[in-house]
Structure 1
Amino acid sequence: MDWISGIQKAVDYVEDHITEELDYSEIAGQAYSSGFHFQRIFSILCGYTLGDYIRMRRLTLAGSELAATNAKILDIAVKYGYDTQESFSRAFTRFHGVSPSQARSGAGIKAFSRLYVKLTLDGGHMTDYRIVTQEAFPIVCKRIKKPSRKELTNADIAGFWQQCGKDGTIPALCRYLPEENIFGQCIVGASFGKDAGDDKYPYAIGVCYNGEPVSEKDFTIVEIPAHTYAVFPCAGKMPEAFQRLYHRVSSEFFPASEYRPCGGTDFEAYPSPDIDDPGYTCEIWIAVEKK
């Protein structure tokens, strides 16, 4: 399954279950992807987050019901995922520019249309990559404490990196780095697939593990299964360069390549924290299989 058809299948699942409590890992599973990785790609390709899409679609449908039915405002609020009429009214007013009672009285409201993904002619860019076949290996890491069934944004990940940079996590991890490993001396961000515990916490910061006893209580050792990886070098100021590369890989490389993402654990390998350097370099490792 490529990213285009995968996103469409995930969107169809969202629309079919729009009035239910949505599990973000289940949505990602429709595209055979890990939870955070799918949310990241969705955001890069669509220009808004998966959570934003769900909220805007729910508020659109709620507005239509207010205008067309006599259902109680509280009943509509609960139907579309709001615990109270007050929280629904605040969200509704921010989105539509009018209150629910004004919408019921005939005031104009807004509509955010259902997403249909189309493949458009694009490309003409060179994308450097290499294919690496890697045996199983362990990493030692600290997981973000946010379950994969919930929305996980880029702001959550950025905050997690900042926290780990301030609280001593990163230098502590570096003590477990083997002299030789597939990522060199890089710290990695791991977007776990279902083969490495995506049902728990989908993202972690870690390093390849040298086997020394781990004394930190909030560190875990995760065995990464054997995979083939497509590895893409990224250069430029972050996060702009990172987002541009992910967009190109998702919209151009995979549709034209003999490979596709396989839902395994993906990595970003960072050699240093100096991400504001316009010449910064890092790598994206995506677990793949042949189509």
Structure 2
Amino acid sequence: MDWLERMNNALNYIEENLDSTIDYKKIAQEAYCSEFHFSRMFSSISGISLSEYIRRRRLTLAAFEIQKSDIRIIDLAIKYGYESADSFSRAFYKTHGIKPSEARSMGVQLKAFPRISFQISIKGDTEMEYRIENLDFDLRVIGKGNKVKTSRAFKTIPSLWSSAKKDGFMEELIDLSWEDPKCTLESLLGVCGKEAAIMDEEFTYFMGVRYDGDVPSGMESIIIKHSTWAVFPNIVEAWKRLYSEWVPTSGYELADIPCIECYYPPKHKPRHELWVPVVPKQ
């Protein structure tokens, strides 16, 4: 219930500041969650991006105000974070299908997007396999990054690997991979974000391998410093269940570090794993 209370506290903060500046760092603080993970956690659980949720809630309240008061459109635009009446009108039309001025008429049809409330869903009918790994060294990963829209990540990332196979980049990475591995985090890696920061609409997906030699031309390196990882087989299934099922009851918090997708060679079991940075819950 502690996790549930934190998430709803974050929603309370959003609701109380819809007509003022919303600090994304403050949202994550209210949830006692790392900035890096909150937006992806929110999207995974709710099915909508954090920024889109805020936009819809603001335009819902704006529609209520238009019908209940004589407030000027420009004042309403500024109140809900738009730089001009035109940008507000475009967003209003996109959501409600009519212009703000037309919404003053009685009998017009508008759309109200209610506030989200997180609740515990009793599941547990399918076990969730995981193990805890402790690494006593920094991870140095070399490769290339690509911008990925969060809402399309499950479709975009496989296509990135498919393209890497066709253009030879995947083979180049395989040739650089470790012959004498230090741990099980070997083979092709997909780092879900280069920096620890809020990633809402998009993030950088870094494709690479662990490597301590000179960085080849056209590539770059990133270093990930963290020791404790929760590791889950089956990346797609793990992403779907991580935030809503494992995190709330695990006794761990998500660290402010990117998750890593690890893709193993053919015939390896499991074929792929999701490595999630964690710290014991205080």
Q: Deviations over 1:45-79 (max 9, x none)?
A: 11222122111101011112211222211221232
Match of 2:152 among 155, 162, 169: 155
**TM-score by structure 1 length?**
0.76
| In structure 1, distance between residues paired with 2:263 and 2:129 | 18
Q: Distance in 2 between matches of 1:89 and 1:220?
A: 43
The answer to whether structure 1 residue 122 and structure 2 residue 123 are counterparts is yes
The residue that corresponds to 2:191 in the other structure is 189
Q: Provide Cα deviations, 1:232-277, integer angstroms capped at 9, x if missing partner.
A: 1017xxxxxx1x433333222233323332333321223479xxxx
- Superposed CA deviations along residues 60-104 of structure 1, whole A, max 9, x for unmatched, are 111122112222112212322333333322321232233211212
Does the 8 A contact of 1:36 with 1:203 survive in 2? no
* Aligned residue runs from structure 1 range 46-65, under 5 A: 46-65=46-65
Asked whether the 8 Å contact 1:41–1:246 carries over to 2, the reply is no
Distance 1:168 1:8, change over 3 A: farther
State the TM-score, normalizing by the size of structure 2: 0.78
Matches within 5 A, 1:30-49: 30-35=30-35, 37-49=37-49
> Deviation at 1:229?
1.0
Cα displacement (A) at 1:10: 2.8
| Contact 1:174 1:207 (8 Å CA) reproduced | no
Number of residue pairs aligned between Structure 1 and Structure 2: 270
What is the rounded CA distance, in whole Å, between the counterparts of 2:157 and 2:238 in structure 1? 22
Where structure 1 has 5 or more consecutive residues not aligned to the other structure, the ranges are: 147-151, 236-241, 274-278
Q: Deviations over 1:172-201 (max 9, x none)?
A: 544542222532212223345xxx543799
User: Following the alignment from structure 2 to structure 1, what is the Cα–Cα distance between the partners of residues 33 and 168?
Assistant: 31
Question: Whole-Å Cα distance in 2 between the matches of residues 205 and 19 of structure 1?
Answer: 36
Residues 1:247 and 2:249 are matched in the alignment:
no
Which residues of 2 match residues 128-143 of structure 1 at below 5 A? 128-135=129-136, 136-143=138-145
In structure 2, how many angstroms separate the alpha carbons of the residues matched to 1:122 and 1:258? 18
Change (3 A) 1:207 1:215: closer
Which runs of structure 2 are paired with 1:1-291 in the superposition (5 Å)?
3-22=3-22, 24=24, 27-35=27-35, 37-106=37-106, 107-135=108-136, 136-144=138-146, 153-155=150-152, 159=156, 162=159, 165=163, 170-179=170-179, 180=181, 181-191=183-193, 197-198=196-197, 203-216=204-217, 219-234=219-234, 242=236, 244-271=237-264, 281-291=271-281
Give me the whole-angstrom Cα distance separating, in 2, the residues matched to 1:163 and 1:233.
21
Q: Is the 8 A contact 2:176 2:209 kept in 1?
A: yes
Q: Provide the secondary structure at the position in 2 that maps to 1:111.
A: coil
CA distance in 2, matches of 1:199, 1:47: 17
Q: Is the 8 A contact 2:193 2:206 kept in 1?
A: no
- 1:73–1:43 distance in 2 versus 1, CA, 3 Å: same
Alpha-carbon displacement from aligned partner over 1:123-145 (angstroms, at most 9, x marks no partner): 22211111111122222243446
Kept in 2: contact 1:187–1:269 (CA 8 A) = yes
**Aligned match of 1:238:** none
Percent pairwise identity:
32
Q: Describe the shift of the 1:163–1:256 C-alpha distance in structure 2 as closer, same or farther (beyond 3 A).
A: closer
Kindly report the root-mean-square deviation, in angstroms, between the aligned alpha carbons of the 2 structures. Answer: 3.4
